[in-house]
Amino acid sequence: MSSQEQRLAHHVAIVTGASSGIGIAVAEALGLAGAAVIVNYHSQDKPAQELVDRLEKAGGRARAVKADVSKEEDVLRLFDAATDAFGRVDLLVANSGVQKDAGIAEMTLADWNTVIDINLTGQFLCAREAVRRFRAQDKAKRPARSAGSIIAMSSVHEVIPWAGHINYASAKGGIRMLTRSLAQEVAADGIRVNAIAPGAIRTPINKEAWETEAALEKLLTLIPYGRIGEPEDVARAAVWLASDEADYVTGTTLFVDGGMTLYPEFRDNG
């Protein structure tokens, strides 16, 4: 492979929620770009192990590790698994996320807490551990120009309000400021922190928005570029953001949304 294709050679990456959807595609793309990958899963061990097998078959290195990102002890174990298996950690893609949708009057405290715990506190716990490990690692052994890189999986709902999903939108809005504040805090350590904000990507989390023709047609009215996104669209962005090509990029959110955040309803309102 060319050096361009292997631009993450010698990197060790942790991808959370890598047993489904965007996480699988991101972990696979990082692995094919040369990174050794810790494939985190919460409940679905089969797709996680299948991904590990695919990466190993392609000549890569990978391990599946079960952990709940909302639990402190699990997150510590996840990072220990990376250092035990591959000796270091260079990249975190904090991708795990869930939805528990309801209008405010019907939303239970449990639905609120579950989404905040996984989608926001999980990001905090993983980012904190990543920073601790990045700071402690031998600078001479870095595979990248940075001392480590964090990519938080956000959403267009870090800026687009979303009725009926206030727990999810609040968590993603929180990720926006977590990303920016943390990037400011750790830039002097040589650590980069960014987010990716996907628009509508075809995965199990939003199946009802694309599985029927009528639903897909309605969804497409929100996407100026005229197609639903695929997990690979996000994965390619993640590989670039993780690589030295993006070395001067920190504290930003990269929107991968086909223009969903461009107020498409204003197209004919000029």
Binding residues vs ligand NAD (CB under 6 A)? 16-17, 19-23, 41-44, 68-70, 95-98, 118, 153, 155, 198, 200-201, 203-206
Whole-number minimum distance, CB 57 to ligand NAD, in Å? 21
Active-site residue flag, 41: no
Which residues on neighbouring strands pair with residue 163, listed in sequence order? none
Q: How far is the CB of 253 from ligand NAD (least distance, A)?
A: 11
Helix (H) / strand (E) containing 150: strand 148-153
Helix, strand, or coil here: 37?
A: strand
Identity of the residue, 23 or 190, whose beta carbon is nearer to ligand NAD in the bound complex: 23
Sheet of strand 91-94, all strands in order from the earlier edge strand to the far edge: 62-66, 36-41, 12-15, 91-94, 148-153, 191-198, 253-256
Least distance from ligand NAD to the Cβ atom of residue 130, Å: 15
Comparing CB distances to ligand NAD, the nearer of 70 and 179 is: 70
Q: 249: which residues sit within 8 A by CB, 6+ positions away?
A: 192, 194, 241
Q: Are 127 and 96 in contact (CB under 8 A)?
A: no
Q: Return phi, psi of residue 185, to 5°.
A: -70, -35
Closer residue to ligand NAD (CB): 113 or 206: 206
Q: What is the largest CA-CA distance in the chain?
A: 58
Burial class of 108 by CB neighbour count within 10 A (0 to 12, 13 to 18, 19+): exposed
Which member of 168, 225, 248, 263 is catalytic? 168
Ramachandran region, residue 186 (left: φ > 0; alpha: ψ -120 to 50; beta: rest): alpha
The residue (of 23 and 31) whose beta carbon lies closer to ligand NAD is 23
- Tokens found for residue 212: 């029927």
Task: Compute the distance between CA of residue 85 and CA of residue 81 in angstroms, rounded to an integer.
Answer: 6
Q: Given the complex with ligand NAD, which of 144 and 156 has the nearer CB atom?
A: 156
Give the shortest CB-85-to-ligand NAD separation in angstroms. Answer: 18
The separation between CA 113 and the C-alpha centre of its own chain, rounded to angstroms, equals: 20
CB of 198 to ligand NAD, least distance (A): 4
Q: Which two three-digit tokens encode residue 206?
A: 């939003």
Q: How far is the CB of 163 from ligand NAD (least distance, A)?
A: 16
125 or 144: CB nearest ligand NAD? 125
As annotated, the active-site residues are: 168
